Amino acid sequence: MDFLVKLFAQNRRVAFYMTGTAVALLGLALGYKYTRRQRKLTRVGVVSQLLLHPLKSGKAVCVPAAECVRMGLKCGELRDRHWLVITEDGHMVTGRQQPRLVLVSLTCEGGQVCLNAPEMEELRFPLHQPTNPIFKCRVFSSDTEGRDCGDEVSNWFTRYLAADKTLRLVHFEPQLKARTPPNNGFPKDDKVAYPDAAPVMLMSVASLNDLTSRLDSNISVCQFRPSIVASDCEPFSEDSWDYVQIGQVEMQRVMGCGRCVFTTVDPETGIFTRKEPLDTLRTYRLTDPAQKTAPILGQYYTVKKTGILHVGDPIYRISY
């Protein structure tokens, strides 16, 4: 009889534990289902172009697909804004000081970097030059580093830009000191190489067309240097895309892209007007008090989940 009583008591304890476990699992399942139900994807546009700018201020490279990593877009050996022209004391040189930089093409294949520019001989040099010195560089107010690309490349840029001082080209490598985006709102663990601010900038064709309709001449998306160009949406709708998903990639909007005088450099001629389209943009797109006199066109994003982007991918706004 005692044996039966003990067995019953043990079974009651087992049954109690099993019931508790089942209730806990059911609670987790319901909680997960509830959380999943709260996440909503709304299609807001389509990727119409993917643009890499390997050389800061240089020509864009249009690609059909790109890997979106924490530091921006990547395609093969090319990475967005990972090459930078500097003075020998490490200060950056961009299209704001040297507008003809927009005519320089930098491509990469088979471990070789290729430079082209008007009235210049094509120059090829090795992508990896581990014995070359590392320069300390300054991009706006942030310190970073870059591996020097060599004297031949230095001479090429100095001659092309007819500079009164020696210029050098540096390449960002993964082990070098990266920059934290300088603007408030970016996560502290975000790092970039040589972009002005963010790993990714997205803008729409509709926003560009709206600006063009207010001007006397056409303008190119290349004047605004986005990473991702969106279509199939209304003008400036990207201002409200706080969280987006494209394929498996997830990004969070941080702030609007405040535009500067660099947008007045013609990407086809390298001519600097310092007027349009910036003057017109200022008349109706001073929409961010934090940017003061910088009108907004396009949005800066930080990458939350990496993956592959393709031209033609739908863009979804994530809401909860």
Judging by beta carbons within 10 Å of its beta carbon (0-12, 13-18, 19+), is residue 139 exposed, middle or buried?
buried
Positive or negative, the CA dihedral 270, 274, 280, 286 is positive
- Separation between Cα atoms, residue 226 and residue 223, nearest integer Å: 9
Band (137; pLDDT cuts 50, 70, 90): very high
Which pLDDT score, from 0 to 100, does residue 31 have?
55
Q: Which of 106, 312, 116, 99 lies closest to 223 in space, CA to CA?
A: 99
Which pLDDT score, from 0 to 100, does residue 131 have?
97
Which pLDDT score, from 0 to 100, does residue 185 have?
75
Tokens 């600006």 belong to residue: 211
pTM for the full model? 0.87
Q: What is the pLDDT of residues 123-132, one digit of tens each?
A: 999 999 999 9
Cβ pair 311, 50 in contact under 8 A: yes
The residue with greater pLDDT, 185 or 16, is 185
Which pLDDT score, from 0 to 100, does residue 195 have?
95
- Separation between Cα atoms, residue 315 and residue 231, nearest integer Å: 9
Which pLDDT score, from 0 to 100, does residue 38 have?
86
Any residues with CB less than 8 A from the CB of 231 and at least 6 apart, and which? 45, 46, 47, 48, 204, 205, 206
Q: What is the pLDDT of residues 16-40, one digit of tens each?
A: 455 555 545 555 555 555 445 589 9
Cβ pair 99, 270 in contact under 8 A: yes
- In a 3-state reduction of DSSP, which class is residue 16? helix
Which pLDDT score, from 0 to 100, does residue 188 have?
81
- Separation between Cα atoms, residue 137 and residue 21, nearest integer Å: 58
Q: What is the pLDDT of residues 190-199, one digit of tens each?
A: 899 999 999 9
Positive or negative, the CA dihedral 219, 224, 230, 235 is negative
Which pLDDT score, from 0 to 100, does residue 150 have?
98
Average pLDDT score over residue span 137-163: 96
Average pLDDT score over residue span 204-225: 96
Domains of the chain with bracketed CATH:
41-319 (2.40.33.20)
Q: Which of 214, 220, 178 lies closest to 199 in space, CA to CA?
A: 178
- Separation between Cα atoms, residue 186 and residue 34, nearest integer Å: 30
The residue with greater pLDDT, 27 or 292, is 292
Mean pLDDT of all residues belonging to the chain = 90
- Separation between Cα atoms, residue 307 and residue 320, nearest integer Å: 22
- Separation between Cα atoms, residue 232 and residue 211, nearest integer Å: 17
Average pLDDT score over residue span 2-25: 51
Q: What is the number of residues in the chain? A: 320
Q: H-type helices in 106-204, by residue range? A: 151-160
Which pLDDT score, from 0 to 100, does residue 64 have?
98
Average pLDDT score over residue span 101-117: 97
- Cβ–Cβ contacts within 10 Å for residue 227, how many? 27
